[in-house]
A = this chain, B = another copy of it.
């Protein structure tokens, strides 16, 4: 069960709305053309808001049809109705385009647009946003898993093009089509992990651990707080994590379920040193200044991580979308102000489930 909202808009001459006689013609023209497309169309109410026109109609299947004529020269037409799973849509895609064409002709509109129906109330999110807040509709056709852990809402949904997709608090995290993400994060082919000691902060989907284990490291310690994520991925994302999340300890790895900040503090106390630390936690925040809890957490993680690196060690992490240069710049400023001086390199890759280029950092001690 979902509600469908279909949004159309039409650019018209401003005087069509502003001039009262023309407005009256416009109103009959709209009523006529809507009457042709919607059987049983009934006017509900009409009003004037700040000089803009508002007309409401009810149509078939309890649909509400809202027409607004803005005095600047824009008419919007919204149709919203409730659709049961076994019901057909009110109009086909083609019929919506005919409606658009007919209204455009009736309004003498020079530019019009009809968006595909926005589906509302689905049990999984069909619409996820890119890092620059753009809207993107995924081809999700099934909710595979859902649970609320103590830390976040954990969903695994199935996408027709991406396979299973892990979604944490409505944020797309990792899909079965995203090997390039892990390979760019670890700089496969450029870094040598054989015989190395490694820490992963986060990494609950198991993808990074699974790929690192293929490179014969000496030992990998993974610090992940959310057991629900690991169990879900172990069951539903096996093409990503293999069997590495099935048990807490293997020949050359261990998964510690808990707060990585505390574990890092303990490692610093013990004077432990690693070849690689991976920051596979939340993304760099999108904000106007590098302040607030999220940035404090990033600084804390970075300052703790560099303290457990061998002098030749590296801190590897993902940044954010290439479309957010301001946030990336703030992150680089944070890097330049750590308790231990560092240098960094960057790489980028198009991540299929993110639908955008992503930036990855490789941080070395100076």
In chain A, positions 16-69 with a C-beta closer than 8 Å to chain B are 44-45, 47, 49-52, 54, 56, 58, 61-62, 64, 66, 68
User: CA A120 – CA B72 in complex, angstroms?
Assistant: 13
The listed residue with most B CB atoms (<10 A of its CB), out of A5, A350, A357, is: A5
The listed residue with most B CB atoms (<10 A of its CB), out of A3, A11, A93, is: A3
**Interfacial residues, chain A to chain B (CB-CB below 8 A):** 1-3, 5, 7, 9, 11, 44-45, 47, 49-52, 54, 56, 58, 61-62, 64, 66, 68, 70, 72-74, 76, 78, 80, 82, 84, 93, 111, 113, 115-116, 118, 120-121, 123, 125, 127, 129-130, 132-139, 160-161, 170, 322-323, 350, 352, 355-357
Inside 8 A of A115's CB, which chain B residues have their CB? 118, 127, 135
CB distance from A70 to the nearest CB of B (A): 5
20 contacts between A and B (CB under 8 A): A3-B70, A45-B56, A49-B62, A49-B64, A50-B62, A51-B62, A56-B56, A66-B66, A72-B82, A74-B120, A78-B80, A113-B120, A115-B118, A115-B127, A115-B135, A116-B129, A116-B133, A116-B134, A130-B137, A135-B136
User: CA A136 – CA B356 in complex, angstroms?
Assistant: 12
Inside 8 A of A137's CB, which chain B residues have their CB? 130, 134-136
Query: Which one, B3, B61, B134, contacts A9 given CB within 8 A?
Result: B3
**Is B80 in contact with A68, judged by CB distance below 8 angstroms?**
yes
User: CA A84 – CA B74 in complex, angstroms?
Assistant: 12
Residues A357 and B64 in contact in the complex (CB < 8 Å), given A5-B78, A78-B78, A93-B133: no
**Is B116 in contact with A74, judged by CB distance below 8 angstroms?**
no
Inside 8 A of A49's CB, which chain B residues have their CB? 44, 58, 62, 64
**Is B139 in contact with A72, judged by CB distance below 8 angstroms?**
no
User: CA A116 – CA B323 in complex, angstroms?
Assistant: 16
